[in-house]
Amino acid sequence: MVGSVATVTPAASVARPGAGTSGLTKGADIRKGDRLSTNASGALGVTFDDETTFSLSANASITVDEFIYRKGARGNAVVTVARGTVGFVAEQVAKTGEMRITTPTAIVGVRGTTGVVEVGPGGATNVKLYEDENGSVGRIEIFDRQGQRLAELTQAATGYAIQIVAQRVVANALQISPQQLVRDRNIVRNVFNFKNLGRDIINQRLNLRDLPRNIPGVPQLPSIPGLPSIPGFPGR
């Protein structure tokens, strides 16, 4: 497993390879390959082992394509946002390794920061950068699906709209309205809250995993096999 459900508002579900689709509850395990979705009334917060957290609003869907994290080692993460509005705060993997968010039209390189990704009809994508919980601001790089660099975000409350125009992928600076800014900041605030909730769940699970083995009354946990690697982020 690579993370846990920090909070859920019904209905939210997971489609897992080889296991079908099922509903999600707080504390449920998240694994590589999971497709997480919310319906029109649902919401979901997911925290990964490095405390990276995603917040799915209504009618959103993401897939955990890859998430490799070991404390003290370089990690890799790839998460696809297929539809809807998703907030995120990126932690250790993005700061020490490679973290990508993919959409139908763009690849988003996350350099240890906080943001909002919106995927609308036809795969049109908005990417926005916001302050971290401590007030610092990270960096987001935007590429097309072939790895060509389109834009970069380094200033809080700025963003780009990525869409296909005349069979070309283009990135245009967003004009974020006051109403959108309020909504986005609420999303970001929720992500920070979900991260704190998820941290407790992750720590409880990791502490259980690290308990000595062969003690009467303590459940025995399986060993963790070797982890694969993925190619480096384009343009890095």
- Name all domains of the chain by residue range, CATH numbers in brackets: 3-209 (2.60.120.1440)
For residue 41, the tally of other CB atoms under 10 A from its CB is 11
According to the model, what pLDDT value does residue 63 have? 98
Dihedral, 109, 193, 104, 151 alpha carbons, nearest 10:
-40
Alpha-carbon 189 to chain mean position: 15
According to the model, what pLDDT value does residue 210 have? 58
According to the model, what pLDDT value does residue 110 have? 97
According to the model, what pLDDT value does residue 216 have? 54
According to the model, what pLDDT value does residue 137 have? 96
**Lowest-confidence pick of 89-93, 172-176, 227-231:** 227-231
- Whether the pLDDT of residue 215 is over 60: the answer is no
The residue ranking higher by pLDDT, 199 or 207, is 199
- Per residue in 111-162, pLDDT (tens digit) is 989 999 999 998 999 999 999 999 999 999 999 999 999 999 999 999 999 9
- The pLDDT confidence band at residue 208, using thresholds 50, 70 and 90, is confident
- Whether the pLDDT of residue 36 is over 90: the answer is yes
Q: Tokens for 172? A: 């245009």
Listed residue (134, 145, 118) closest to 58, CA to CA: 118
Secondary structure class of 187 (helix, strand, coil)? helix
According to the model, what pLDDT value does residue 155 have? 98
Nearby residues of 75 by Cβ (< 8 Å), 6 or more positions away: 50, 67, 68, 69, 92, 93, 96, 97, 98
According to the model, what pLDDT value does residue 213 have? 46
According to the model, what pLDDT value does residue 203 have? 87
Q: How far apart are CA 214 and CA 220, in angstroms?
A: 7
Place of tokens 């943001």: 115
The residue ranking higher by pLDDT, 208 or 188, is 188
Average pLDDT over residues 65-78: 95
According to the model, what pLDDT value does residue 206 have? 72
- Whether the pLDDT of residue 35 is over 60: the answer is yes
According to the model, what pLDDT value does residue 47 have? 98
